[in-house]
Amino acid sequence: MSKIVRQKNFLNAISYTTKKPQVLINGSKYQGIRLTFQVENHSGHMGPRMLWRKYLPTLQFYNPNLKIDIIRIYNKNKAENIPCILEVLDKGGNTVETIDMKNKMYDSIMDEFLNKVDHKIIPEEELVHV
Amino acid sequence: MISSLSTRPLVHGLKQTQRFLSTSHMLLAEEVTESKGDSTVTLATPAKVLTKEQLKKRELRKFLKSKADARKPATDYPLYMDIPKVLRYLRAAEVGQPLSQRTVSLTTLVVGEKGVPPLYGNVSFPTPLRKSKVAVFSNDVEKLEELKKQYDLHLAGGVEVIAAIKDGSIKIDFDKAFATPDIVSTLTAQLGRILGPRGVLPNVKKGTVSDDLLTLIRENLGTMPFRERNKCISIGVGKTSFSDEQIIQNIIAARKAIKDSITTQKAKKQSMLSKTTLTSSHGPGLVIDFN
């Protein structure tokens, strides 16, 4: 695969081929989202990391004003319980929705997030394609 | 029956050699096969070595190609984009990364003739990324006190500071250094080998040595130095948290500084700027129009 094709695929993965997060989140209601999870995968913390890598770039691309904060905590100790949550913040910075992401796949976390948040799916003709 | 069994290992062995030969054929540049009785031996010879003339020709061809590429407009590149769109992609790629790591930087290739001195200079950004750290060396204590009052200096001192840097008790973490002429000779003798390669050794040629340090620092405080390395110049022009307008203003300032350094270059044929990309710490490099 040539360098240009590889980069084209990378850019399209952000703006075109990843379908689920191609939504416009109601900017008048929400300020941003905050994810808190572990750096390590153990104890069911893999889902949020995959969500961050696979879906959040597209969500940020179509919602440039949505503030996305990620707090990752180092924890080697499996006995310790680290929160694994996604918080939706309103205009004043208060938490309005909380999603527990522990032991969940990134796909199901995204579904749950879209169920709880007011949003609009971006029509096909408005998508950016490289 | 017995005879067929006895020949089997031999046939098997031959097959193995053949298989070995067939794989080696793929890997070697040239192959010489010698027959010694029943067994076949394969010898490898080194790949063809180019003569001096051929190497020269190849270099010239490469140089002419890079020169032709430099003349091409940026819009000819397959993934050319305008700056706001590039920044939109970079911000998306940087999502969730720590703020300190979300730097947007500009990289431009420089095409120059052999032996042309590398480009260097200073950029003064309308929106600086961070405060530049300044060090001042002087034997005049009064002057240093006066400077400390006016500016937020990272490091200021005379011979004792030079000794401390030499033995390693003071870290070299400043971006710029200025000095008065009375201390320059000691500075060059003691720290020339340490500060020189980092580009922070004050010297008359660079214009960082003067009796009137007040005006010198005023002119240079808000600037960031840049230097051509490996035929390219790379400058950090912003953070992803900056607005599009702020980053574009910084890019324009960087362009002005680089073009100025080309016009002041001491060479018969001046260098040219080629492909320019905008990239971020974790994001892709995207071609923009810089000319």
Cβ neighbors of B62 (< 8 A, separation 6 or more) are none
Alpha-carbon gap, residue B164 to B169, rounded angstroms: 5
What local confidence, expressed as pLDDT, does residue B60 receive?
Answer: 92
Are both B280 and B210 inside the same structural domain? no
Q: Which residues of A touch B92 (CB under 8 A)?
A: 14-15, 57-58, 60-61
Range of the domain at B77: 72-129+224-287
> Cβ of B95 under 8 Å from any chain A Cβ?
yes
Are both B83 and B188 inside the same structural domain? no
Degrees to nearest 5, angle at CA A109 with A19 and A107: 40
Asked whether A30 and A89 are in contact (CB, 8 A), the reply is yes
Are both B81 and B198 inside the same structural domain? no
Interface with B, mutate which of A49, A58, A130 (most B CBs under 10 A): A130
Are both B9 and B144 inside the same structural domain? no
Is residue B52, in this structure, part of any structural domain at all?
Answer: no
Is residue B39, in this structure, part of any structural domain at all?
Answer: yes
What local confidence, expressed as pLDDT, does residue B84 receive?
Answer: 94
What local confidence, expressed as pLDDT, does residue B128 receive?
Answer: 84
Which residue is it, tokens 């390395």? B229
Domains of chain A: 3-126 (3.40.30.10)
- What is the domain-level CATH number for residue B94? 3.30.190.20
Q: What percent of chain A has pLDDT over 70?
A: 100
Are both B118 and B148 inside the same structural domain? no
> Cβ of A61 under 8 Å from any chain B Cβ?
yes
Query: For residue A36, is pLDDT > 60?
Result: yes
Is residue B54, in this structure, part of any structural domain at all?
Answer: no
Are both B214 and B158 inside the same structural domain? yes
* Residue that is last in its domain, among B203, B220, B237: B220
Are both B236 and B207 inside the same structural domain? no
What local confidence, expressed as pLDDT, does residue B3 receive?
Answer: 42
Query: For residue A126, is pLDDT > 50?
Result: yes
Q: Per the structure block, which two tokens stand in for B190?
A: 């003691």
Q: Which range, of A74-83, A117-126, B24-33, B73-82, averages the lowest pLDDT?
A: B24-33
What local confidence, expressed as pLDDT, does residue B156 receive?
Answer: 73
Nearest alpha carbon to residue A41 among A33, A26, A52: A52
What local confidence, expressed as pLDDT, does residue B190 receive?
Answer: 74
* Residue that is last in its domain, among B201, B220, B239: B220
Cα Rg of chain B (Å, integer): 30
Q: Which residues of A touch B95 (CB under 8 A)?
A: 52, 56-57, 59-60, 68, 70
Per-residue pLDDT in tens (0 to 9) along chain B, 291 residues: 444 444 444 444 444 444 444 444 444 444 444 545 555 666 676 777 889 999 999 999 999 999 998 998 888 888 899 999 999 999 999 999 998 889 999 999 999 888 888 898 888 888 888 777 777 777 777 777 777 777 767 777 777 777 777 777 777 777 777 777 777 777 777 777 777 877 777 777 777 777 777 777 777 777 788 999 989 999 999 999 999 999 999 999 999 999 999 998 888 888 999 999 999 999 999 999 988
Domain count, chain B: 3
A11 to chain B, closest Cα gap in Å: 7
How confident is the model over A77-104, as a mean pLDDT? 93
| pLDDT tens digits, one per residue of A3-23 | 999 999 999 999 999 999 999
B202 to chain A, closest Cα gap in Å: 43
